[in-house]
Amino acid sequence: MRSSLLASKFRSGVVLMAAALAAMTISGCAGRERPRLAYEERPVEALYNTGYERLQQHRWSDAVDYFQEVERQHPYSDWARRSILMQVYAYYQNNNYAEAIAAADRFIQLFPGNPSAAYAFYMRAVCNFEQITDVGRDQGYANAALTGLRDVARRYPGTPYATDAAVKIDMVNDQLAGKEMNIGRYYQRANQPLAAINRYKAVIANPDFQRTSHTPEALYRLVEVNLQLGLKEEATRNGAVLGYNYPGSPWYAEAYALLTENGQRPETAPGAKRESWLQRIIPG
């Protein structure tokens, strides 16, 4: 994933495991290696296993050629179905995301009820996930990834795909919340406080964003902007929410100091431990 959220791209273990489960190689004689793959009618096992060997050698483009040849020569066989999945994997490993997504879409259209469709849905989402850019750019891939990952979690609950999708969904939400914060800070610097407030409130109001790392800052920025507008009561309310939920956050320490400077007296001191529900029931 290319973003400030993730410094470098990674290869999920779920992807590797799923490729092995989705398309197992079947023993047989391998085709002869050649510089360019020319049309020649050959046993399907030979074509498929040669493509699989190229995968093991990390020769992704060569592997795709052989798996496409399986499709071309034996379009209605189980081998062709497996070959589409292996093309998805080979394209993905070669960072050909658009081609991987296209192959996954083709599998879903042709075999929507096949158990291996789970892998195609998952890989389509992962390919979008790994193209997410930093929060300063368009978040089209992030939105596409979020849609795809939610689809995986809904369609295949209890599977490794759904488990990994849940982790990635949280990461994408953090990315999208970061985008809102980035725009809000821009408006605030540009002296457009109302536009900034709308962006910060979007982070607070969205249930998916509330669990991200950006929520404390969004509350602090609302304190800051409302004070700039002279709306001390609104600033105090936002500060109270921040202090109640994040009393130990550096953002609350900043908000507390800012409110105090403006004559407000927040009830919760920075770093104070809030009484738990158990302590309320059993004093001491």
DSSP for 12-75, please give it.
-HHHHHHHHHHS-----PPPPP-SS-------HHHHHHHHHHHHHTT-HHHHHHHHHHHHHHST
pLDDT of 122 > 70? The answer is yes
Cα separation values, 204 from 208, 214, 216, Å:
9, 9, 9
pLDDT in tens, 164-182: 999 999 999 999 999 999 9
Instruction: State how far the Cα of 103 lies from the Cα of 106, in Å rounded to an integer.
Output: 5
Is 277 contained in some domain?
yes
Q: Give the model's pLDDT for residue 170.
A: 95
**φ, ψ for residue 7 (rounded to 5)?**
-70, -30
Contact in structure between 75 and 94 (CB atoms under 8 Å):
no
Q: Counting beta carbons within 10 angstroms of the beta carbon of residue 137, is it exposed (0 to 12), middle (13 to 18) or buried (19 or more)?
A: middle
Q: Residue 264 has what pLDDT?
A: 84
Q: What is d(CA 131, CA 126) in angstroms, rounded to the nearest whole number?
A: 9
Inform me whether the pLDDT recorded for 81 exceeds 70.
yes
Range 182-207 average pLDDT: 96
What's the pLDDT at 50?
A: 93
Q: What per-residue confidence (pLDDT) applies to 272?
A: 60
Look at residue 282 and tell me whether its pLDDT is greater than 60.
no
* pLDDT surpassing 80 at residue 14: no
Q: What is the mean pLDDT of residues 212-234?
A: 95
Query: How many domains are contained in the chain?
Result: 1
Contacts of 162 by beta carbon, 8 Å cutoff, 6+ apart: 152, 153, 156
- With respect to residue 166, please indicate whether it lies within any of the assigned structural domains: no
Specify the range with the lowest mean pLDDT, choosing from 91-95, 172-176, 270-274: 270-274
Flag whether pLDDT at 283 surpasses 60. Answer: no
| pLDDT-based confidence at residue 10 (cuts at 50, 70, 90) | very low
Query: b vs e for 149-179, b when ≥16 Cβ sit within 10 Å of the residue's Cβ?
Result: beebbeebeebbbbebbeebbebbbbbbbbb
* Structural domain includes residue 13: no
- Average pLDDT over the chain reads 85
Mean pLDDT of 103-116: 95
Tell me, yes or no, whether 215 lies in a domain: yes
Instruction: Say what the pLDDT of residue 270 is.
Output: 77
**Which pLDDT value is given to residue 284?**
44
**In 3D, which of 138, 156, 110 has the Cα closest to residue 14?**
156
Q: Please report whether residue 182 resides in a domain.
A: yes
Q: Does residue 165 belong to any structural domain of this protein?
A: no
Asked if 39 contacts 15 with a C-beta cutoff of 8 angstroms, the reply is: no
- Residue 234 pLDDT exceeds 90: yes
In three-state secondary structure terms, 132 is coil
Let me know if residue 225 belongs to a domain.
yes
Domain of residue 276 covers 177-281
Question: Does residue 23 register a pLDDT over 60?
Answer: no
Task: Give the number of residues written for the chain.
Answer: 284
> What CATH number should be reported for the domain holding residue 205?
1.25.40
Segment 254-266 mean pLDDT: 89
Q: Is the pLDDT of residue 2 over 50?
A: no
Q: What would the mean pLDDT of 178-201 be, rounded to a whole number?
A: 96
Task: Tell me, yes or no, whether 73 lies in a domain.
Answer: no
DSSP 72-128: HHSTTSHHHHHHHHHHHHHHHHTT-HHHHHHHHHHHHHH-TTSTTHHHHHHHHHHHH
36 or 12, greater pLDDT: 12
